[in-house]
Chain A
C-alpha cells in the first residue's frame, strides 16, 4: 500500500516551453502533497506544500508564477514548470502525506532536462 506515482519519469524540453509533472497517490487519498527539488548529491529542497482545494504554500525563494501547483483532487497534484530554462533542469520529487500513519510516501521522481 501507499504507492505514489509520478509522470513522466524523464522529460527533455526546449528552453521557453512549459512542462507539467503529475503526482498521484494510487491507493490512498492525500489532502497534502509536497513538491521537492533535488540537486545532484544533495538533499531534498522543499519547494511547496500542496493542499487539496486550496492554493499551494511556497517556500521562501521559490517563484510561485514559475512553478505552478494544482491539487485538484485527493489523489492528484501537478507541478508545471513554466517557461523552463536550463537552470530549471533538476530531479523533481513529490510526496503524499498519509494522515493516520503521519508518514510521507514519495514518488519515483521526474528528471527534467531543459536544453
Chain B
C-alpha cells in the first residue's frame, strides 16, 4: 500500500534560519504530492502541491520538488519566521486508491525570535 514518512519532530529553529522537513513516500501509481500546514486549533491548509515528477510547488516562501528517483518531496524555506510555527503534513493522493490521501505523521515546527 501507499505510505508517507516524514522527518520526526519537533523541530525548533531561530528566526531567519533555513528549514528542511524531509518527506519520502511509497506508492504503486503516480501520485500527486502535497504539503499541508495546521495552525493550533485549526484545520489543515493546503500549502503547496506537485502533480508530476520534477514539478516544484511553491507558496509563501516554501518550496518542495517532486523527486521520483528518490521518492521524496522535501519541504524547504530559506528564512523562517515566528509565524511559520505550526504542524506540517506531507501527503500523497493516488487516484487509483478510491481518491484517498495518505498522510505523514506531521512535523511540529517552532520558530523562536
Query: Is A32 touching B99 in the complex (CB atoms < 8 A)?
Result: yes
Instruction: Report chain A residues within 8 Å CB of B104.
Output: 43
Query: Is A106 touching B36 in the complex (CB atoms < 8 A)?
Result: yes
Query: Is A102 touching B44 in the complex (CB atoms < 8 A)?
Result: no
Q: List 10 contacting pairs A-B, 8 Å CB cutoff, sorted by A.
A: A6-B43, A43-B103, A43-B105, A49-B100, A93-B43, A102-B95, A103-B32, A104-B93, A105-B46, A111-B41
The distance in angstroms between the C-alpha atoms of A106 and B43, with both chains bound, is 6
Query: Is B100 touching A103 in the complex (CB atoms < 8 A)?
Result: no
CB distance from B64 to the nearest CB of A (A): 15
Q: Which residue of B lies closest to A9 (CB)?
A: B41
The number of residue pairs between A and B whose CB atoms lie closer than 8 Å in the complex comes to: 49
CB within 8 Å of A: which of B56-113?
A: 89, 93, 95, 98-101, 103-106, 108
Instruction: Report chain A residues within 8 Å CB of B36.
Output: 106
Question: A8 within 8 Å of B by Cβ?
Answer: no
Q: Which residue of A lies closest to B49 (CB)?
A: A103
Query: Is A49 touching B103 in the complex (CB atoms < 8 A)?
Result: no
Query: Is A104 touching B98 in the complex (CB atoms < 8 A)?
Result: no
CB distance from B50 to the nearest CB of A (A): 11
Instruction: Report chain B residues within 8 Å CB of A41.
Output: 108
Query: Is B105 touching A104 in the complex (CB atoms < 8 A)?
Result: no
Q: Which residue of A lies closest to B89 (CB)?
A: A43
Candidate in B42, B95, B98 with the most chain A CB atoms within 10 angstroms: B42
Question: A18 within 8 Å of B by Cβ?
Answer: no
Instruction: Report chain A residues within 8 Å CB of B51.
Output: 102
The distance in angstroms between the C-alpha atoms of A95 and B89, with both chains bound, is 15
Candidate in B46, B51, B89 with the most chain A CB atoms within 10 angstroms: B46
